Structure 1
Amino acid sequence: MKGKSYKKLLSLVLTGVIMSGLAVGCSKPADQASGKKEKVKITYPTYRVGSHASAAAEKEIIEAFKKQYGDEIELVVEELPSDQAYVEKMKVLAASKQLPDIVEGKNGIIDLAIKNGQAVDLLSMVNEDAKYKAEIGEEAIKANMRDGKLYSIANARQLIGYFYNKDMFQKAGITPAKTWDEFMSNNEKLKGKGFTPLALMTGENAWTSNLLLASIIGTDGEAGNKFMNTMKPADYNNPSVIKGLTMMQKMLKDYTTKDAIGAMYSNAANNFNQEKAAIIANGPWMTPDFADKEKSKPGLAERVGVALYPENGLVSQYEIGYMVCTTDKAKMDAAMKFLKFKTGAFTQKIMLEKGGALPLTANVEMSDEYKKNNPLIVDLIKLSADAKYKYSNLDNTSNPTVMDVFAKLYPELAFGNITPEKMAEKMTEAAAKSK
């Protein structure tokens, strides 16, 4: 009896141990046991931080997304200090096929993402959501189509003229120029009154300088306008480009700030905001800065006007926008939710009110209060109706290899080390390297 009792006890103990082990081995994580799904983590880098014109809008958008989707999606945001830092890092990541899940395709990043196979065709996912498709509109979709595929979605429409200091113009006895000859004459008159005419820059993507270059080319008759509406041109050796570079050489040499050579966007913007320059080519997102006491001289907003480029020219385009760069199903679904949130009507309204970016469609209306508080944007939209020439900017049309050489070539042009004709040749050589 004793032996049988012992064996029975041992059997019960072993059974308990085995069952206990099975219970441990089959136990579920706390979130699964409670019925909750594990959060999907997606990565999103942004340069819209710090003093960037869209920083306040970007912060509000991200916080709103996390509030709405925080239970299911973990949005990991990487903040990069500038446009240039963003572009440089994304290009490095693209080279190794390591792009984050959501990426802005600016400055040729989209071309690299398509080439390396990371960019996802979004067309079918957009077509499946009629409400969202209406929010972004057919024109914005059409603008970013490539060979029947949609790799990116814009979050804003761009109408870009130039801003000018009305007080400086008045003292110089000038009004916004109707021709490029008059524009150059205005620069000379401003300089004669002791004002620096232009807030230019040659660093980063030479943004403010290249808006002027694109406008000189884009308003140079039918041929120039066609060129500035041509995607990825292979040859820059044409009279319109050379005319533009000849004028840019003069402007960089005689009509801009001392720090323009090598300057970043922040330098050019600061020069205009602090009334160290009379003109800056830039978009409506800059307008909130004029009333910001930390960025601009007091009362600057009342002293700023907006104008079309000479010959009634206007940069008119949709932004390249955002891409999804993951094929993982769960991540792709989460990334699409963020992409729709980032580019939909709700965000377009925030970008309009906080960042001065124009919405994609007329479905996002400006309130009377907004119009009252943002007269420059209202003026720009009114002026756009009079534009004879509309065209894209160089960031949108040129190969990234071309954009990369401006920071080197503009200083050489300004110092007379190369001619406009030679710079056009070097831009053509750079275009060939993208093949």
Structure 2
Amino acid sequence: MKKKQLFAGALAAAMMTASLAGCGGAASSAATSTTGGDTAGSTASADTNSGVVEVTIPSFKTGENVGAVFFEPQVERFNEKYAGKYKINLESVPQDSIFNDRIKQLAQQNKLPVLVEGGDPDWVKNVVIPNGLAYDLTDWIDATPAIKDVLIDDSREYCSNEDGRVMVMPLATVRPIGFFYNSAMWSTDADISAMSMDEFVSALGDQKIAFSTAENGWVSALFLTALVAEEDGGVEWLKSGIETKITDFNQPCFINAVAKLQNLLQNNAASNSVGAAYADAANAFMSEQAAIIANGPWMSSDFESSNSDKWSNGFDGAKVRASLFPGDVGIADTASLGEWWISASASEDEIALAKAFLEFIYSPAELEAYMLAEGGDAPKLTYSDDFKAKQGETQVLADLAADTTTDTVFVPRILDVIPASVANTEFGKLLPSLADGTCTPEQFAQWMSDKAAEASAE
């Protein structure tokens, strides 16, 4: 018998809107601009006439990006709270890969924004932290119990340099990734997460999975991660890449998993999977061209009636259910970099603004609003009664909450434990060859190893 573990579910769009309104309004009026010249969004200044410290930061969580649904209103709530003192404007960057390149470019020009959300993890770990580009957060965190007490220990350790100084804001939440399925097309009374992968594939029959091969092959990579995790030694192999990126893929756990992925691509892939970007895979699922899609809990808002303009062919978001992967596998990594860091070149006033923003987004109210909007768990946060009452009101996230137990195996995404250039641009290139059978699993493993070796030599 599994013991239920406390896990934060989420509200979807309609309930989220009400929740955010109570926190200061659901609609964002934060100034947003598109990426322009080299200096756009890379500087910050205090308005000497008004006394307001105003900064502009690049962000890919704007416009149509799924992350904008929560992030833009959150920035607006911060601006409202600190009206007359601080203001954050957002410079829109089309996608995270372009954002990573832009931040590197700004660093080379000594024009880093005051606040940076992420960046290429390898670059942050191997360039930003060792070269002192990030502001030392240690003393501030230790002097701010409300922040210190909610940080995940593994993340704090990972976000620190060799001297134990915290250079990147550690995580306070974790969001296990599983998959969603359309119960109108495929349903089972069995506990899917308790199945083996072979039992799952057998139960699936000829139902289709929405895969992607373009960009970083996101959906395919999630399934591959789960497939690797169920192989002997797979969990350990994936976790070995947290500290040192994996460069040797000629391992039985990887090759066997790729063989199973190839079988799914050839027999259960939605018709548009080859060449599909994530948006195409999502469209396949929400147009009943596929019964299953792997993705994180943040996708739950797409299944609310307020987003029914994304649906077609009779798709009904109310019919969507969710599960962790067979083998009780949840994809999540607590030993990882947090999302935010402060530029060491920022002025004293700008650093004060940045600290105020971090303290704001790590406050109990904002952490709970974030989890209600996008799902997840804050292991060290004491939840409010209101949050606990709301967390089970969205079916798919109640499903994930029920699946997350003391027996759940958490593993990092394979895209996070291989060199970034391989993950972002190379991984998806050979996936179509798996689908058409022109590439064997062994050849795929060798190709990945060769690309990883090239990346490591750069």
Q: How many angstroms apart in 2 are the aligned matches of 1:256 and 1:73?
A: 49
**Cα distance in structure 2, aligned partners of 1:270 and 1:283:** 16
In the alignment, which residue of structure 2 is the partner of 1:21? none
The match for 1:246 among 259, 276, 289 is 259
Shift of 1:246: 1.6
Q: Is the 8 A contact 2:211 2:269 kept in 1?
A: yes
Q: Which amino acid aligns with 1:252?
A: L
Q: Distance in 1 between matches of 2:283 and 2:139?
A: 43
The alignment status of 1:324 with 2:342, answered yes or no, reads yes
- Pairwise CA distance, 1:91: 4.7
Change (3 A) 1:142 1:173: same
The runs of at least 4 consecutive aligned structure 1 residues that moved more than 6 Å come to: 172-175
Q: 1:165 aligns with which of 182, 186, 189?
A: 182
% identical aligned pairs: 26
More moved, 360-369 vs 425-434:
360-369
Please state how far the C-alpha of 1:225 moved relative to its aligned partner: 0.7
Residue 110 of structure 1 corresponds to which residue in structure 2?
124
Q: Does 2:203 match 1:203?
A: no
Residues 116 and 272 (structure 1), Cα distance of their counterparts in 2 relative to 1, 3 Å cut: farther
Aligned: 1:296 with 2:311: yes
Q: RMSD value over aligned CA atoms?
A: 2.9
Structure 2 gap segments, 5+ residues each: 1-46
Secondary structure at the aligned position of 2:181 is classed as: strand
Note closer, same or farther for the CA distance 1:173–1:136 as it changes in structure 2 (3 Å cut).
closer
- Distance (whole Å) between structure 1 residues aligned to residue 368 and residue 257 of structure 2: 36
Aligned equivalents of 1:106 and 1:142: distance in 2?
19
1:253 is displaced (CA, Å) by 2.9
CA contact (8 A) 1:308 1:387 kept: no
CA distance in 2, matches of 1:277, 1:220: 26
C-alpha distance in structure 2 between counterparts of 1:372 and 1:299, whole Å: 23
Q: Which has the higher contact order (CA 8 A, sep 6+)?
A: 2
- The CA distance in 1 between the partners of 2:311 and 2:226, in whole Å, is 26
Output the amino acid matched with 1:224: G
1:287 is the counterpart of 2:303: no
Match of 1:429 in 2: 450
Q: Which residue number in structure 1 is paired with residue 196 of structure 2?
A: 179
Conserved 8 A contact 1:61-1:350: no
| Residues 136/173 of structure 1: CA separation in 2 closer, same or farther (3 Å cut) | closer
1:392 CA displacement:
1.0
* Partners of 2:191 and 2:145 in 1: CA distance: 47
Contact 1:272/1:278 (CA < 8 Å) preserved in 2? yes
Q: Does 1:233 align with 2:246?
A: yes
Are 1:219 and 2:230 matched, yes or no? yes
1:375 maps onto 2:391 in alignment: no
Higher-Rg structure is: 1
Which range moved further: 300-309 or 150-159? 150-159
Tell me, yes or no, if structure 1 residue 409 matches structure 2 residue 430: yes
Q: Which amino acid aligns with 2:144?
A: D
Q: Could you tell me how far 1:65 is from its partner in structure 2?
A: 1.1
Query: How far off is 1:403 after superposition?
Result: 0.7
Change (3 A) 1:257 1:179: same
1:354 equivalent in structure 2: 373
- AA of the residue aligned to 2:224: L
3-state SS of paired residue (2:351):
helix
Partner-residue secondary structure (3-state), 1:293: helix
Distance 1:137 1:50, change over 3 A: same
Does the 8 Å CA contact 2:230/2:327 hold for their aligned counterparts? yes
On the 8 A contact 1:225/1:391 being kept in 2, the answer is yes
Shift in alpha-carbon separation, 1:78–1:225, aligned structure 2, 3 A: same
Match of 1:26 in 2: none
- The answer on whether the counterparts of 2:329 and 2:410 sit within 8 Å (CA) in structure 1 is yes
User: In 2, are the aligned partners of 1:348 and 1:364 still within 8 Å (CA)?
Assistant: no
Q: Which amino acid aligns with 1:328?
A: A
* Residue aligned with 1:244, SS: helix
Tell me the equivalent position of 2:283: 270
Q: Partner residue of 1:19?
A: none
Residue 40 (str. 1) matches residue 53 (str. 2): yes
Residue of structure 2 equivalent to 1:22: none
Cα distance change of structure 1 residues 216 and 99 upon mapping to structure 2, 3 Å threshold: farther
In structure 1, how many angstroms separate the alpha carbons of the residues matched to 2:154 and 2:431?
A: 34
Matches of 2:315 and 2:370, distance apart in 1: 24
1:145 deviates by 4.0
Report if the CA contact (8 A) 1:155-1:321 is conserved: no
Distance in 2, Cα, partners of 1:96 & 1:262: 36
* Alpha-carbon distance in structure 2 between the residues aligned to 1:124 and 1:182: 51
How far apart, in 2, do the equivalents of 1:381 and 1:253 lie?
Answer: 32
Of the structure 1 ranges 315-324 and 272-281, higher mean CA displacement relative to structure 2 is found in 315-324
| Residue 260 (1) aligns with residue 270 (2) | no
TM-score (structure 1 length as normaliser)? 0.80
**Structure showing the higher helix proportion among its residues:** 1
> Aligned-pair distance for 1:393?
0.9
Shifted more, 245-254 versus 304-313: the winner is 245-254
Would the alpha carbon gap of residues 305 and 228 (structure 1) be closer, same or farther in structure 2, given more than 3 Å must change?
same
Name the CA shift for 1:68/1:173 in 2 (closer, same or farther; >3 Å).
closer
8 Å contact kept, 1:97–1:116: no
